[in-house]
Amino acid sequence: MKLPKIKEFHITPIAVVDPPLLNAAGLHAPYALRTVVELVTEDNISGISEIPGNIEIDKALEKSRQFIIGKDPFQLNQIRDILVANFGIDKMSDRGDAPWDQRTLVHIFSAIEVACLDIIGKIVNRPVVDLLGGKRRDAVPFSAYLFYKYEGAGGELAFGTDPNATGWDAARQASALNPTEIVAQAKAMCKEFGFQSIKLKGGAFEPRQEVDAILALHKEFGENTPLRLDPNALWTVETSIKYGKEMEGILEYLEDPCRGQENMATVRKALKTPLATNMCTTSFEDIPRSYTLGSEDIILSDHHFWGGLQDSMKLASICETFGRDLSMHSNSHLGISLAAMVHLGAAIPNFRYALDTHYPWQSDEIIVGGRMKFEDGAVAVPTGAGLGVELDRVALAKLHENYKKCGLTKRNDEIEMQKVQPDWKFKATRW
């Protein structure tokens, strides 16, 4: 039998239109960066994946090419061992203080692993979810993900808007700088996508206004719509306890109110509300301390920085063992990432909380057939072989041109914010 061998490894950085969203680190640039990886076997079977764009990670991906060409995509253990032998492993401190994860190797492994699983799925003619043990649900529920934002569509329009836009397309461009505008955003997003739970990205304004926005959402949507608030670790322990108590009975979980496992554990002991994280327990090395301290109830996994889909399944088992729930974190992304998230979301056993997605904020797409559909807030698990999505090469080339034109090479929300408020500085703890 002829074994499959990887003969090509393509790395394409792209820039995706992104509106001026506010968060703890500042402001989103007019384009969000992603990198698309495509591996092709000697038999011309193509496997794809998408990770956050960052020129340093792209350079490391380039370096990894020499170790991947000629490998059998089924030999994922061997591929991982070779990458670790040549690059080592990320230091925990490499994650950084920003809301998003800045490690390199976890992203590289994830990019290669997902593309290999896509190839394997195509070879055995089964969807990726079957390679993760099979599906436990046919559709995967997502949560609305609200952002404070300036008026603006992003991309070439930047802070300008398209006067012909209607529905969610128009609402996505509107400003949301106070609780009333946040409620309007929530109504438009839930109407379009059918989401049944709502997350508000906090850390943009002082806690009083963000808590008021949660109270306003609760008033508008009622008891049956679970709410979450994520200040991205900007609050002190005292602030987290004070406002956490005020929101008790209203939030289904409070996400990363403060920084570090120890502080999170102190807050957790003072509140009845569960805590979730994508910032303090972000790798397998963090798990023992998370368990000893009791720093969170829910780990928001993200296959892009938990080392891929198989490692995310390993995380699901660890969470089951140690009494943690598992849900999913996201950054600005397109359909290849969404498809991978849906395959994983369909496979995990401990699914209690709808997953995060930034997808409604993006209007571009690089998969054949265009934007993926949500029904009642959920995405149906793709049934085709592999990830079940194919690259639209024309759309990919267009977004690669955007990348070359836009001049951005890595995410820096502080610089974007300083274009609006010159004295603005990121602070790891603000309130």
List residues with catalytic annotation: 201, 329
Kindly state whether residue 230 participates in binding ligand GKR, applying the rule CB under 6 A. yes
| Nearest distance in Å: CB 301, ligand GKR | 12
Q: Are 231 and 280 in contact (CB under 8 A)?
A: no
Distance CA 378, CA 29 (A): 28
User: Considering beta carbons, is residue 83 or 334 the nearer one to ligand GKR?
Assistant: 334
User: Considering beta carbons, is residue 39 or 182 the nearer one to ligand GKR?
Assistant: 182
Kindly state whether residue 295 participates in binding ligand GKR, applying the rule CB under 6 A. no
Q: Which residues contact 293 (CB under 8 A, 6 or more apart)?
A: 261, 262, 264, 265
Q: Which long-range contacts (CB under 8 A, 24 or more apart) does 124-128 make?
A: 124/385, 125/385, 126/385, 127/343, 127/381, 127/382, 127/383, 127/384, 127/385, 127/386, 127/387, 127/388, 128/309, 128/340, 128/343, 128/386, 128/387, 128/388
**Single residue of 58, 90, 113, 230 touching Mg ion by CB under 5 A:** 230
Distance CA 405, CA 332 (A): 19
A 10 A CB-CB count for 181 gives 18
User: Considering beta carbons, is residue 118 or 356 the nearer one to ligand GKR?
Assistant: 356
Binding mask 299-338 for ligand GKR (x = CB under 6 A): ------------------------------xxxx------
Piece of the chain touching Mg ion by CB under 5 A; list 77-85, 172-180, 223-231, 240-248 = 223-231
Q: Which 9-48 positions form the footprint of ligand GKR (CB under 6 A)?
A: 21, 23
| Nearest distance in Å: CB 120, Mg ion | 31
Type of residue numbered 382: P
| Nearest distance in Å: CB 11, ligand GKR | 22
User: Considering beta carbons, is residue 135 or 411 the nearer one to ligand GKR?
Assistant: 411
**Single residue of 80, 107, 122, 201 touching ligand GKR by CB under 6 A:** 201
Closest-approach residue to ligand GKR (CB): 23
Kindly state whether residue 106 participates in binding ligand GKR, applying the rule CB under 6 A. no
Contact of residue 201 among ligand GKR, Mg ion, none (CB under 5-8 Å per partner type): ligand GKR
**Single residue of 54, 278, 282, 310 touching Mg ion by CB under 5 A:** 278
| Nearest distance in Å: CB 241, Mg ion | 19
User: Considering beta carbons, is residue 225 or 301 the nearer one to ligand GKR?
Assistant: 301
User: Considering beta carbons, is residue 10 or 419 the nearer one to ligand GKR?
Assistant: 419
Contact of residue 100 among ligand GKR, Mg ion, none (CB under 5-8 Å per partner type): ligand GKR
Instruction: List contacts with Mg ion (CB under 5 A).
Output: 230, 255, 278
Instruction: List contacts with ligand GKR (CB under 6 A).
Output: 21, 23, 99-100, 201, 230, 232, 278, 329-332, 356
